[in-house]
Amino acid sequence: MHQKLQPILFSGDKANSPDWSGKLIIGENVSFMSHHFIDTGGSVEIGNNTIVAGRDTHFWSHSFQPVCEKLKHVRNSIKLEIMFYIGARSTILGCSLPE
């Protein structure tokens, strides 16, 4: 029997403002412990059966580049395939990690 499990979020977890809305996709059976931050200025996809353990992990999916004395927002993407364990206080910057 297949059961679809919803992501588990604990206290203090958050994603950034809808004004910076990119794309956030969280797979089945994904668990976040406490006080993690997901920047959705770009896109973030976290695959099935992934655990973000401990606390204070940051997922950054954007950067800034100077253009004519102004900062230009650059959207990046983060894609974690399936079955990852992300330890406490990790920083994930625009990347793609296969299975």
pLDDT per residue rounded down to tens, the chain (99 residues) = 444 445 555 556 555 555 556 788 999 999 999 889 888 888 899 999 999 999 999 998 877 666 666 666 778 889 999 999 999 999 998 888 887
User: What pLDDT, on the 0 to 100 scale, is given for residue 95?
Assistant: 87
In a domain, 22, yes or no: yes
Q: What is the largest CA-CA distance in the chain?
A: 58
Distance CA 19, CA 3 (A): 34
User: What pLDDT, on the 0 to 100 scale, is given for residue 7?
Assistant: 54
User: What pLDDT, on the 0 to 100 scale, is given for residue 94?
Assistant: 85
In a domain, 3, yes or no: no
User: What pLDDT, on the 0 to 100 scale, is given for residue 92?
Assistant: 93
Give the chain's domain count.
1
In a domain, 1, yes or no: no
Domain containing 49 equals 14-94
Please state the φ and ψ torsions of residue 19, each to the nearest 5 degrees: -65, -20
In a domain, 2, yes or no: no
Sheet containing strand 51-55, edge to edge, reads 31-34, 51-55, 85-86
